[in-house]
Amino acid sequence: MNHGFVKVASAIPLVRVADCMYNVEQIESLVIQAEGKGTEIICLPELSLTGYSCGDLFGQQLLLDEAEMALIQLMNVTRSLDIISIIGLPVPYRGALLNCAAVVQRGKILGLVPKTYLPNYKEFYEKRWFQSGADVPEGTVLICGQQVKVSTNLLFSTPSCVFGVELCEDLWAPVPPSSRLTLMGADIIFNLSADTDAVGKYAYLQSLIAQQSARCICGYVFSGCGFGESTQDVVFSGKGIIYENGIMLVEAKRHQFTPQMLEAEIDVERLRNARRMNTTFASCATQNEGQCTTVITERVPARPFSLTRIIDPHPFVPTGKRLDERCQEIFDIQTEGLAKRIQHTGTQTVVLGISGGLDSTLALLVCVSAFDKLEMNRRGIVGITMPGFGTTDRTYTNAVNLMKLLGITIREISIKEACLKHFADLGHDPEQHDTTYENGQARERTQILMDAANQMNGFVVGTGDLSELALGWATYNGDHMSMYGVNASVPKTLVRHLVSWVAERTKDESTRQTLLDIVDTPISPELTPADDQGNIAQKTEELVGPYELHDFFLYYLLRWGFRPAKIYLLARQAFGQAYDDATIRKWLRVFCRRFFAQQFKRSCLPDGPKVGSCSLSPRGDWRMPSDASPTLWLRECDELG
């Protein structure tokens, strides 16, 4: 359903302590609003029908009876609604009083989940009124005219997800109930809370939920009591948060005096895929097998679906301060990987082709960083510029200037005569600018680099990036080959930022300006002649499509295993008006076709450092047969519309 998305809500109603009828009216309003927005499951705070701050009033039969009557009223109001509501109330059970979450749908109570861990320290005094759900036997209770299961081991199965429930302090336990529930199959955890406020406590709560949702690879929906609960020495600020696998999707504004409701779509398909790929999760589930009762919810008709969550169009490129931190980390990983290879081989020389483009520039900057850290002379870095039939003045000048400014050894070896001789030997017309014409130049350049490395007792540093490897945009046994590929797991969209990042931290103004001009240069292999004005005529993105689209496709195919239809849905949401639907469909099909057709190039890649969650190394993250059929993927691309 809905490409694996489940729309959930965390609601914070207005509350009057001990006024159950007022409270249920506030809850009803929020539930109806959520239903109108297509929400499947809504969670409200702990003891939301009575209020959490009732104190010894929990011992009053009138309050308990009124809470049950309020629940009956809510069931009646929502009898015709498909939405599942999770509400907090006190429930008498076998001589004890339990702090429970009631899961309600279409006039039926699907189950009651009691709180396991009762805080009894500082401002909390719950053991005075309640019993832990772990201390009473599972069973049923007659409530609202229904026999309802009472258990801390309940899972609720809907057509689109499986969810579990825990209450407030449960999350603070060393091993929260949600750990067990997720291992037993829960995709989403709902937490009904009455968390008091104090300086720094909200940040701590965020870290708890982030860690728990990441560790359990789950969605986590938290709903905490708000303004109406504040009394005596404690303030309740209304904490509402929705997380997905360690990432916050949305949060409420705290200290509001009005009701709040926040919604988000949790990607259950993504969570399940992550669990399947994480064999540790499966092993842990096997070793911690327990007994849970699964409650099947009402099967409801499919509803119109509209994705509202923000989809980042550049998933490899964070924003703000995180971008600076990410660039530093990636550059350090590349540097360390190359430094280790230099140290291991005992060489004093590395060789790389310098074209004046982004990829070779980043590779050169990594070489300089590695040599500096190893306290080696930069003259051991040999940059070879190899002008060809498509080399423009702009890229040639930038290549030479950058090498001079960085103080490395410069060699210039033109490939024109060698390629013309090669074409003559083949009987190929050099005016025919086809694959032979282009690949012949790429292989000639690689031969020069390899032989020069032999000549100087060094090794060749590769410059190709992750995006090129995904599309197969490399000449087999040409720029596809090296002794160590420092950019092999860096996507093109991030290469540009890395070069800019280095430029902004470069003290020498001439070096900085050269790097920034390289960043602004159109991406091109420069294998066909320039135009009449001497500008680059062969622009990669006009041939294979925009790299920002291809990197987006790659991320969701490789990292999450999504099918084309879902990737298309996400791309439309992410790129908005930047690309029309037909353009996205066109390049998505190109990506799928090329990704399958070019696997043979990836099956024999040289070593290179893994820097992120996506890698196409045949020794690491990606093992795919070179002859796998793309039929299923291309068929779904053709069915998009």
Active site positions, annotated = 46, 115, 168
Q: Residue 334 and residue 344: Cα distance in Å, rounded?
A: 16
DSSP H helical segments within 192-305, as ranges? 201-215, 268-277, 279-287
**Residue 416: how many other CB atoms lie within 10 Å:** 15
Q: What does DSSP assign to residue 153?
A: S
Residue 89 makes CB contacts below 8 A (sequence gap 6+) with 47, 48, 49, 50, 67, 68, 70, 71, 100, 102
Question: Do the Cβ atoms of 555 and 562 come closer than 8 Å?
Answer: no
Question: Do the Cβ atoms of 399 and 354 come closer than 8 Å?
Answer: yes
Residue 580 makes CB contacts below 8 A (sequence gap 6+) with none
Q: What torsion, rounded to 10 degrees, do the Cα atoms 353, 355, 357, 361 define? A: 40
Question: Do the Cβ atoms of 109 and 60 come closer than 8 Å?
Answer: no
Token duo for residue 304: 């119109």
Token duo for residue 467: 């995006």
Buried b (16+ CB within 10 A) or exposed e, 177-200: bbbbbbbbbbbbbbbbbbbbbeee
Long-range pairs, 299-307, Cβ under 8 A, ≥24: 299/159, 300/82, 300/159, 301/82, 302/1, 302/2, 303/38, 303/82, 304/38, 305/1, 305/2, 305/3, 305/5, 305/7, 305/38, 306/38, 307/5, 307/265, 307/569, 307/570, 307/573
